[in-house]
Structure 1
Amino acid sequence: MDFSFYNQLLLIFACSVMAIAVLNKLRMPPILGYLAVGIILGPAVSDSIADYQTIALLAEIGVVFLLFSIGLEFSFAQLTAMRRMVLGLGGAQVLSVTAVIFLVGWLLQLPVSIALLAAAGMALSSTAIVSKELTEHNELRTEHGQTTIAILIFQDIAAVLFLTLIPALGNDSYQALGHAVLLALGKSIGLFVAMLLIGKFLLPKLFHEVATVRSQELFLLTVLVIALFAGWITHFLSLSMALGGFLAGMMLGESHYRHQIEHDIRPFRDVLLGLFFVSVGAMLNLHLFVQNWFIILIATASLLLVKSVLITLLAQLFGQKRETALTTGLYLSQSGEFCLALIALAGKQQLVDQETQSILLAVSILSMVTTPFLIRYSSLIIKWLFPQSPITPADTHEQEIAQLAHKLNQHTIICGYGRVGQSIGRFLKQQQLPYTALDDDPIRIKEASIAESHIYFGDCRRTELLKAIGVGKARLAIVCIDDPTQAITITKNIRSLRHDIPIIVRTRDDTYLDALKSAGATEVIPEVMESSLMIISHVLVMLDQPAIQVRKQIDQVRKDRYQLLHGYYQGEKSTLVDPKGKPRQILHAITLREDAACINLPVSELLQVSPTVEIQDIKRNDQSIADQLDTPIQQGDCILVSGLAEEIEQVETLLLSG
């Protein structure tokens, strides 16, 4: 059996793990780690990758999954509503950038075919990088995110046309050129109509039947088959596989299973997309870069400048605000993966010499490398260009928020207007108590602000916005953010602005209770714990326990910081870490053997065995002896402990073996 490809894949993943771990420590984009791995393992340095075709195929599947997940965010109705931006702004961007770069190439006396090739390739941006960055920064639903995606959609369609033009350019026949364009357009329109019909009539019934089986494996396999089959169809029609992935995702965009599909596809998407960036890095010729570094740097800087300026101007012509237009221009200023494919195909058709091909590849890759930095620091760039100008949707409305909220006094501030925040708001409104809410979900705020007043878009962590919504005059602040690290930051910022305001923080559980108290929270309400106490109180009352006694028991649990409720028994589907990667507290029962080291020790000494692991109870013949401090421990006693898994293992070892 040939393990060469396996060895290469293992090497790529191992190097990627190390590179991304280092970049995470440095708080740098992981894309740079993949690109660095590609450069190191590619022919430019170690030449450790031999099976490029298989790696490239897996990488392209990663791009298909990326476009599939993005398509889930855009239903047909949304795409129809965006047609002006997709066809109008997207078409104007591709045509204008192609024309300008072609003119520059013609003035530099490049052959017409090379100038047209470079212009067409450089007009396209990196769908993979930009889409990934938008997703990671939660900007897909922002104004500039929607504009960026609209342009990228048209670029993907244009890429199909450009790729079909390469063989026609090699034939030097205008008739062949026109035939190729019409054929590509006909295929794209036919495919779109077919996908639309399938998505409307076939897929809902299919997923309904799959869901009734209640098999996670079947559901996931169905999603994978649909995404890959859509990519195969477009490839069979000589179109972009990425376009097929997007159309398949869009078909399922209105499905009730959209969120589950996106969740299930994400691991495959991220891993295979990493291979794509590795393959991009492997294409960079460092020897040629050193020889022509000045030309490559000037060309890259010129490309970034020209594209960002043109896209900014066009976006403004289409009604976008200056800051949104400039953000879009910075996000799309690079060349993209379709340019790499275009140049490679042109090389096979002998339309461009080897040296020019390598320089164009170097410019494209270098512009892609700069993209994560441009996106990350776009706000600072805009602030530098326009010192007095707002740079985000929240900044844009900051003065407006302050003007609208300045009349409020002794009001309640709600940070996070999700399910819990909205429930609180309804009760405050019913009692005619003034409040204002802040949330960073633009769709939610758009919906809520139509029916309610004093609901604003913005990042609750920003002290400027907290001041704008009147934290200085507020009576109470409520933090309803799911992310505990964000909740801690918001609490600290509110407390830094007002030392006397009561702050109530809602959390999922009590894992971060001490951290939130230290940050300045007056009260921390763990949702899971409180819902459990609510159910417990109802249970006890229905079992004829005195209501006063039940209330005292519940209050005592709160006073003890929910110690009685700490941990839970692990099940088959339980995880030892929460979604943020922090270890969970668990319950574990330890039955003592006759040779256990703690036999004959008094209960009082056992209760002090660890400062981090709690002894919840000690059972003997189904009776608790935890309050009998002088009673010696015996064989067969069951000790119930709660804490982190690693700490419980250490305590169990101590109790059993000493």
Structure 2
Amino acid sequence: MAASPQDPIYVQALIFLGAAVVAVPLFRRLRLGSILGYLAAGLVIGPFGLGLFSDSTSVMHVAELGVVLFLFVIGLELNLTRLWAMRRDIFVLGTAQVVFTGLLAMLYPLLVVGRSWQASLVAGLGLALSSTALVMQLLGERGEAQHPHGQKAFAILLLQDLAIVPLLALVALLSPVKTAGGDPVWLSGAKMLGALAVVVLTGRYLLSPFFRVLASAGAHEVMTAAALLVVIAAATLMTYVGLSSALGAFIAGVLLAESTYRHELEADLEPFRGLLLGLFFISVGMTVDLRVIAHAWPLLLGAVVTLTVIKTSVVYGLMRLLRNGHEVSIRTALYLGQGGEFGFVLFSTAVAAGVMEQVIATRLVAVVTLTMALTPLLAALAPRLARTRAAPEREERFEDVHGSVLIIGFGRFGQIVSQLLLPEGVDVTTIDNDVEMIEAAERFGFKVYYGDGTRLDVLRAAGAERARLICVCVERQETANRIVELCRTSFPFARLYVRAYDRGHALELLEQGAHFQMRETFESAIAFGRAALEELGLSRERVAEVEEDIRRRDRERFALQQQQGRDPWVGSDRLYTRPAPRPEPFTSPQRQGVALNPDALTEGSTRQDEEGGGDD
């Protein structure tokens, strides 16, 4: 019997949760991913499956909140500096992808199906949009959101989310039905800009003091309610002026990315985001009309294949044109080969405006849903086509973890650090996310836990709250910065020792609150130079004097750069450099030269500036 709106809400919740609990573990067991499980669950309980629900539209309206929360959490992971650094990928790569994919995709309904050019253009541009929720969920499940292809995919998806506004305006322009009473274009634009200004100013100046007052009250549930309030308020305001609700939530997240409460907000919203996002994918599965697929399966199959080929080819070609490597390009292209949830909005608007017939919109929704279901399979092929082998999955339970020192990263640097601690009986807990390295370490008798040090839940499970000392020994600067930020915010009582890449990174780490940093090549270079001087015949006493002099000069230069900024020129007079050749004078000197002490001459003439040199 189908569930109706008159049924108690717990009956509907029982059906949704039961379908998810059965389908998702089954599909993950089959290595097909949780998203396909949600889609399959929606198909089974939907109006075209067992018929337990007769209306999927009302469910999708509620489930869209999951997408909104998801974009807010993504915004929390970014900040304005990172967005500005991604501007080329967002506006150049993203715009080119939407335009070229839309123009190529419109040829199928225009030439093969014989539809009007207006309907074909809207269909092509709608199919050019990919699913932000689907792609970012897949990237998150595979731990690839911060990888280069994950960043490229996100930049394109962000532009696509922004593109829904001009695409809706295009539908209104193509509509043969001209409605009266609408706002003038200038007024609509003013409302949009005003709403953006309200969100930006509120996020910039009011949200941090607001959360500070709530945090001082000590009520955890109030912080959760406030986080939901901020997200829903921003989404509602954007919807009211005709913009995307997800865009408002994303902007609010970006503006809170530098707040000290960002990790608390992320942890509070995580359960709601996960459940509502799963509900969204279930509602998408409920829209699949098996009768439409059965009636026009050759046409839909051709459309699915054509769209997938066009989108992956365009993304791959554009990325290669912009000088990205083959591996990054093919991985990004395979993740973006589907249609997206904003296509549903565009197609329904086109039907209401008289630009497209309902039967076309129904088939397009089926195409989008089928391509979304195909995406996890394409993403699984990415490592093989990129000629790289995906790291095997490994689960860790962190049983009996109680170490006083937590080492994050067990590469070359972390291994040497552990060798100094273990002989003294220090209780060390070590985590790393390289499965092959962990298995190799286990063969030598080391216990290394599998875990991503950039995740707050993993750090807590690994005992970071109880650790006296946290040693961050990872290689990537971005990863180290992220871990430092998490630890300083969530574990303020632990001492934080961090491996630095170079001088600039070391200064950045100290600004973020690290208690100690060590440039990864500094001590090895000092030891190398000491051995070179000894080989040249200098006494051990003289070598020790030279070493201490170099260390003192480096400390002085480092202190100056801390005070005056990370300019490489600051303190450059502390460097020893080889003097440049001096030009001979055109006339003979009028005064007789005076003999100088050769030792003094050598010492004085070698203290010259070098352009940005000496950094390690």
Q: Pick closer, same or farther for the CA change 1:425–1:157 going to 2, 3 Å.
A: same
Q: 1:35 Cα shift?
A: 1.0
1:203 aligns with 2:153: no
How many angstroms apart in 2 are the aligned matches of 1:24 and 1:393? Answer: 17
1:169 aligns with 2:170: no
How many angstroms apart in 1 are the aligned matches of 2:462 and 2:107? Answer: 62
How many angstroms apart in 1 are the aligned matches of 2:321 and 2:462? Answer: 48
Partner of 1:18: 22
Q: 1:172 Cα shift?
A: 6.4
Q: TM-score, normalised by structure 1?
A: 0.60
1:156 aligns with 2:161: yes
1:35 aligns with 2:39: yes
Three-state SS of the structure 2 residue aligned to 1:319 is coil
Three-state SS of the structure 2 residue aligned to 1:97 is helix
Partner of 1:380: 384
Q: Pick closer, same or farther for the CA change 1:418–1:244 going to 2, 3 Å.
A: farther
Q: Of 464, 476, 480, which aligns to 2:430?
A: 480
1:258 aligns with 2:205: no
How many angstroms apart in 1 are the aligned matches of 2:43 and 2:205? Answer: 46
What is the number of residues matched between the two proteins? 436
Q: Pick closer, same or farther for the CA change 1:238–1:366 going to 2, 3 Å.
A: same
Three-state SS of the structure 2 residue aligned to 1:39 is helix
Q: Of 139, 142, 157, which aligns to 1:137?
A: 142
Q: 1:171 Cα shift?
A: 3.6
How many angstroms apart in 2 are the aligned matches of 1:194 and 1:304? Answer: 39
Q: Of 447, 450, 453, which aligns to 1:505?
A: 447
- Whether the 8 Å CA contact 2:308–2:371 is kept in 1: the answer is yes
How many angstroms apart in 2 are the aligned matches of 1:73 and 1:533? Answer: 27
How many angstroms apart in 2 are the aligned matches of 1:218 and 1:20? Answer: 32
How many angstroms apart in 1 are the aligned matches of 2:35 and 2:11? Answer: 22
Partner of 1:119: 124
Q: Deviations over 1:104-139 (max 9, x none)?
A: 443333201210111111110011100111122221
How many angstroms apart in 2 are the aligned matches of 1:533 and 1:63? Answer: 39
How many angstroms apart in 1 are the aligned matches of 2:220 and 2:329? Answer: 42
Unaligned runs of 5+ in 2: 393-404, 422-427, 451-460, 470-616
Q: TM-score, normalised by structure 2?
A: 0.64
How many angstroms apart in 2 are the aligned matches of 1:527 and 1:123? Answer: 43
Q: Pick closer, same or farther for the CA change 1:193–1:8 going to 2, 3 Å.
A: same
Partner of 1:86: 90
- Whether the 8 Å CA contact 2:90–2:159 is kept in 1: the answer is yes
- Whether the 8 Å CA contact 1:187–1:237 is kept in 2: the answer is yes
Q: 1:48 Cα shift?
A: 2.0
Partner of 1:249: 253
How many angstroms apart in 1 are the aligned matches of 2:26 and 2:420? Answer: 53
Q: Pick closer, same or farther for the CA change 1:332–1:134 going to 2, 3 Å.
A: same
Partner of 1:325: 329
Q: Deviations over 1:278-316 (max 9, x none)?
A: 111111111110111111111101101111010111112
Three-state SS of the structure 2 residue aligned to 1:480 is strand
Partner of 1:492: 439
How many angstroms apart in 2 are the aligned matches of 1:279 and 1:494? Answer: 45
Q: Pick closer, same or farther for the CA change 1:361–1:428 going to 2, 3 Å.
A: closer
Partner of 1:77: 81
Three-state SS of the structure 2 residue aligned to 1:481 is strand
Q: 1:426 Cα shift?
A: 8.3
Unaligned runs of 5+ in 1: 384-389, 395-416, 434-477, 509-525, 535-658
Q: State the identity %.
A: 32
How many angstroms apart in 1 are the aligned matches of 2:274 and 2:315? Answer: 29
Q: Deviations over 1:386-441 (max 9, x none)?
A: xxxx57899xxxxxxxxxxxxxxxxxxxxxx98555899489589999xxxxxxxx
How many angstroms apart in 2 are the aligned matches of 1:155 and 1:225? Answer: 26
Q: Pick closer, same or farther for the CA change 1:418–1:350 going to 2, 3 Å.
A: farther
- Whether the 8 Å CA contact 1:96–1:310 is kept in 2: the answer is yes
1:110 aligns with 2:124: no
Q: Pick closer, same or farther for the CA change 1:188–1:323 going to 2, 3 Å.
A: farther
- Whether the 8 Å CA contact 1:130–1:332 is kept in 2: the answer is yes
Partner of 2:600: none
Q: Pick closer, same or farther for the CA change 1:431–1:193 going to 2, 3 Å.
A: same
Q: Pick closer, same or farther for the CA change 1:131–1:137 going to 2, 3 Å.
A: same
- Whether the 8 Å CA contact 1:506–1:527 is kept in 2: the answer is no
Partner of 1:311: 315
